[in-house]
Amino acid sequence: GENVEQHPSTLSVQEGDSAVIKCTYSDSASNYFPWYKQELGKRPQLIIDIRSNVGEKKDQRIAVTLNKTAKHFSLHITETQPEDSAVYFCAAWGSNYQLIWGAGTKLIIKP
Amino acid sequence: DSGVTQTPKHLITATGQRVTLRCSPRSGDLSVYWYQQSLDQGLQFLIQYYNGEERAKGNILERFSAQQFPDLHSELNLSSLELGDSALYFCASSVDTANTGELFFGEGSRLTVL
């Protein structure tokens, strides 16, 4: 079946450094790729999304890039802050009319 | 506040029992999704309803069932509960299908099976 692989499962970075989380999808028909952030004990919330007709999208310190040929997309967080500590999930909308989710990346910001 | 309401917030029950989780979507949202999240695990998609009809099915066990009512609220029924069913169950809603925009998640219902 369709799947989304997400790496790494855990990422620890120094406060102020950048963090990059990568996802690879299998369904070549996927055309929508959201990223959700889930803080400890909280609900997931959308932080940024990208559609297949766009290669990159930025929102302040957060950016997402998409490489349709390689079927992968990445989340970039610059100038990381303590409040960026959370679990981040990528997802891909596929031809089965479902969002296929990655397994999540636990981002730890070290002070 | 996402506008999605889930009840109950916490539920403790015994193996073999049956429980019902309830979800009220955001005003105007036609799609409702149910997800299961076990401790330190990812989001497992269970089922989606759109305007009262089942739209997509994920890894939902036969012991679980769901429905969406005419007022668009949804219920997830879990029966013959097992220890492994202990998890956080999220409901989410969106205006249409999940590729048209954000999924708004409720705060979740934490189920503990003893």
Condensed to tens digits (0 to 9), the pLDDT of residues B49-68 reads: 999 999 989 889 999 999 99
Which of B56, B102, B105 lies nearest to residue A97, judging by beta carbons? B56
Mean pLDDT within A38-56: 92
CA distance, residue B114 to nearest chain A CA (Å): 21
If one counts every other C-beta atom within 10 angstroms of the C-beta of residue A99, the result is 29
Mean pLDDT within B81-94: 96
Instruction: Tell if the CB–CB gap between B42 and A101 is shorter than 8 Å.
Output: yes
The sign of the torsion formed by the CA atoms of B1, B2, B4, B10 equals negative
Instruction: Tell if the CB–CB gap between A97 and B102 is shorter than 8 Å.
Output: no
Q: Residue B95 — very low, low, confident or very high, per pLDDT cuts 50/70/90?
A: confident
Instruction: Tell if the CB–CB gap between B99 and A101 is shorter than 8 Å.
Output: no
**Chain B positions in Cβ-Cβ contact with residue A99 (cut-off 8 Å):** 45, 98-99, 103
Coil/strand/helix, residue B55: strand
Which residue in B43, B44, B95 has the most chain A C-beta atoms within 10 A of its own C-beta, making it the best mutation to test that interface? B43
Q: Residue B9 — very low, low, confident or very high, per pLDDT cuts 50/70/90?
A: very high
**Chain A positions in Cβ-Cβ contact with residue B103 (cut-off 8 Å):** 34, 36, 44, 46, 99
Q: What angle do CA A54, A13, A103 make, to 5 degrees?
A: 55
Instruction: Tell if the CB–CB gap between B56 and A93 is shorter than 8 Å.
Output: no
pLDDT at B40: 78
Q: Residue A14 — very low, low, confident or very high, per pLDDT cuts 50/70/90?
A: very high
Instruction: Tell if the CB–CB gap between B43 and A34 is shorter than 8 Å.
Output: no
Instruction: Tell if the CB–CB gap between B45 and A104 is shorter than 8 Å.
Output: no
* Rg, C-alpha atoms of chain B: 13
Residues 6+ apart with CB under 8 A from A79: A16, A18, A61
Q: Residue B97 — very low, low, confident or very high, per pLDDT cuts 50/70/90?
A: confident
CA B19 to CA B13: how far, in whole Å? Answer: 8
CA A29 to CA A49: how far, in whole Å? Answer: 17
